[in-house]
């Protein structure tokens, strides 16, 4: 009897090809799309996971591949775990990464809900990553074949049980190969562009969204230097993120960057580029993958850690402070932002652990 798998169809080419490949491999494939539509959200043709067009595209793909298809309502979970978290983070002067949280607490839960509906053992997505079971019995996410599209960073919060039952069939392909497979399979969206913005704010206006949806107004305050000297007036802390240079609205005679955001005093601290570098990054809410806390503590290994999605990573050593982890980098790293995710890799390109960056 063929094994059953539920594929998360997002309306994009990657998830569509994932479903196609699994069907070719002999799986009994079912399609599921998350319904995260919320009142007042902006609908766009390329609205990522959110737009009504994405759901229509997913339905058409299911028809083309001749697989059963359902939409799973996760609107409540999405608002609670992703949208509210995003708003609270910006209000507190942080730069959140909602995708890492959404994958664990919303997307995969929706997939497993679909698995229950169809009686499937496995779930699958179109992420560019691989899953490995290691000698210590643990499951982990490993780098995909193509570094240009590697999405291991976004999957760092998945649990061991989620990993055990997950398939990632396009982790061995380049994006160009995936588009070619889609075209050959007759999938209409083979050339559909990738979604780049946060799915529930497709126009990229974070400040406008926060004020309209959550009543979080942008109050003016002071730009200050590291010594507390006032340099000028800012538009509200929700307009800024660590490392930002453009859009400050003031000429300083030399390049100045956002070094720190202080919500308690409504101040934005500016510095030159050198002031953005740090050798130590601390994270909380740690999710362990390739190694347990005890295994990390017992080793003296050098790891590679990323402090944001497009960060190339830096070599570091790890230590623990109660329930937090500290990455001590061998070379200073630029613009570590509270709210972003610290993801640690071993020499094999496997995710060791991940956690939410906090203020040092």
Q: Is residue 198 part of a domain?
A: no
Give the residue ranges of the annotated binding site for ATP.
8-15, 34, 126
pLDDT digits (tens, 9 = 90+) for 323-358: 999 999 999 999 999 999 999 999 999 999 999 999
Both 231 and 319 in one domain: the answer is: no
Both 120 and 241 in one domain: the answer is: no
- What's the pLDDT score for residue 42? 46
Q: Is residue 227 part of a domain?
A: yes
pLDDT of residue 84 exceeding 50, the answer is yes
State whether the Cα torsion 229-235-238-242 is positive or negative.
negative
Q: Is residue 281 part of a domain?
A: yes
| Final residue belonging to a domain, choices 272, 289, 312 | 272
Contact 40, 212 (CB under 8 A): yes
Q: Is residue 212 part of a domain?
A: no
Nearest alpha-carbon partner for 354 in 302, 296, 286: 286
Distance CA 247, CA 250 (A): 8
Q: Please give the residue range of the domain that contains residue 71.
A: 4-126+169-185
The two three-digit tokens of residue 104, written as one number: 């664990």
- What's the pLDDT score for residue 180? 96
- What's the pLDDT score for residue 52? 74
Percent of residues, the chain, with pLDDT higher than 70: 96
Both 24 and 173 in one domain: the answer is: yes
C-alpha distances (whole Å) from 172 to each of 143, 177, 309 are: 10, 10, 20
Q: List CB contacts of 115: < 8 A, sequence separation 6 or more.
A: 4, 6, 121, 122, 123, 165
Nearest alpha-carbon partner for 6 in 48, 77, 58, 84: 58
Both 268 and 284 in one domain: the answer is: no
pTM attached to this predicted model: 0.93
Distance CA 317, CA 325 (A): 10
Q: Which residue has the higher pLDDT, 197 or 22?
A: 22
Q: Is residue 297 part of a domain?
A: yes
Q: List CB contacts of 163: < 8 A, sequence separation 6 or more.
A: 131, 139, 140, 141, 289
pLDDT of residue 46 exceeding 50, the answer is no
Q: Which residue has the higher pLDDT, 57 or 199?
A: 57
The two three-digit tokens of residue 246, written as one number: 């453009």
Q: What is the CATH number of the domain that holds 116?
A: 3.40.50.620
Both 67 and 12 in one domain: the answer is: yes
Q: Is residue 279 part of a domain?
A: yes
Which amino acids are annotated catalytic? 102, 199
Nearest alpha-carbon partner for 47 in 7, 12, 86: 12
Both 251 and 110 in one domain: the answer is: no
| Final residue belonging to a domain, choices 210, 243, 272 | 272
Q: At what angle do helices 13-24 and 175-184 cross, to 10 degrees?
A: 70
Q: Is residue 76 part of a domain?
A: yes
Both 81 and 177 in one domain: the answer is: yes
Nearest alpha-carbon partner for 29 in 66, 57, 54: 66
| Final residue belonging to a domain, choices 160, 185, 210 | 185
Give the residue ranges of the annotated binding site.
8-15, 34, 126
Both 180 and 75 in one domain: the answer is: yes
Q: What is the CATH number of the domain that holds 268?
A: 2.30.30.280
pLDDT digits (tens, 9 = 90+) for 221-264: 999 999 999 999 999 999 999 999 999 988 888 999 999 999 99
Using a 10 angstrom Cβ sphere, with 0-12 exposed, 13-18 middle and 19 or more buried, the burial of residue 198 is buried
Q: Is residue 137 part of a domain?
A: no
* Domains of the chain: total: 3
Both 290 and 263 in one domain: the answer is: no
Both 348 and 251 in one domain: the answer is: no
Both 239 and 263 in one domain: the answer is: yes
Both 45 and 119 in one domain: the answer is: yes
Contact 229, 241 (CB under 8 A): no
Q: What is the CATH number of the domain that holds 289?
A: 2.40.30.10
Distance CA 121, CA 127 (A): 19
- Of 85-94, 160-169, 194-203, 262-271, the one with minimum mean pLDDT is 194-203
The two three-digit tokens of residue 276, written as one number: 């953005």
């Amino acid at each position: 009897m063929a094994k059953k798998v539920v594929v998360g169809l997002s309306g994009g080419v990657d998830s569509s090809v994932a479903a196609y490949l699994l069907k070719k491999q002999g799986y009994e494939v079912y399609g599921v799309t998350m319904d995260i539509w919320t009142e007042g959200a902006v609908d766009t043709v390329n609205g990522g996971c959110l737009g009504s067009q994405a759901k229509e595209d997913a339905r058409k793909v299911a028809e083309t591949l001749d697989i059963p298809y359902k939409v799973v309502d996760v609107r409540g979970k999405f608002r609670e775990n992703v949208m509210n978290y995003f708003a609270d983070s910006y209000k507190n002067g942080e730069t959140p990464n909602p995708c890492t949280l959404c994958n664990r607490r919303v997307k995969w839960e929706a997939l497993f809900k679909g698995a229950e509906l169809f009686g499937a053992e496995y779930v699958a997505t179109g992420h560019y990553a691989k899953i490995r079971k290691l000698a210590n019995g643990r499951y982990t996410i490993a780098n995909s074949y193509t570094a240009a599209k590697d999405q291991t960073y976004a999957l760092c919060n998945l649990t061991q049980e989620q990993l055990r039952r997950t398939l990632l069939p396009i982790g061995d392909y380049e994006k160009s190969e995936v588009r070619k497979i889609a075209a050959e399979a007759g999938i209409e969206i083979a050339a559909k562009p990738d979604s780049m913005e946060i799915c529930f704010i497709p126009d990229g206006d974070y400040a406008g969204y926060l004020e309209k949806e959550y009543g979080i107004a942008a109050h003016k305050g002071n730009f200050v230097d590291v010594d507390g000297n006032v340099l000028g007036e800012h538009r509200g802390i929700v307009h800024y993120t660590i490392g930002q240079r453009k859009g400050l609205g003031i000429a300083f005679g030399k390049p100045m960057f956002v070094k720190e955001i202080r919500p308690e005093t409504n101040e934005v601290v500016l510095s030159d580029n050198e002031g953005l570098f740090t050798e130590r990054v601390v994270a909380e809410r740690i999710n362990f993958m390739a190694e347990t806390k005890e295994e990390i503590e017992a080793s003296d290994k050098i790891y590679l850690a990323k402090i944001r999605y497009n960060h190339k990573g830096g070599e570091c050593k790890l230590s623990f402070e109660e329930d937090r982890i500290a990455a001590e980098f061998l070379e200073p790293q630029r613009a570590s932002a509270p709210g972003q995710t610290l993801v640690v890799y071993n020499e094999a390109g496997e995710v060791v652990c991940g956690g939410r960056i906090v203020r040092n």
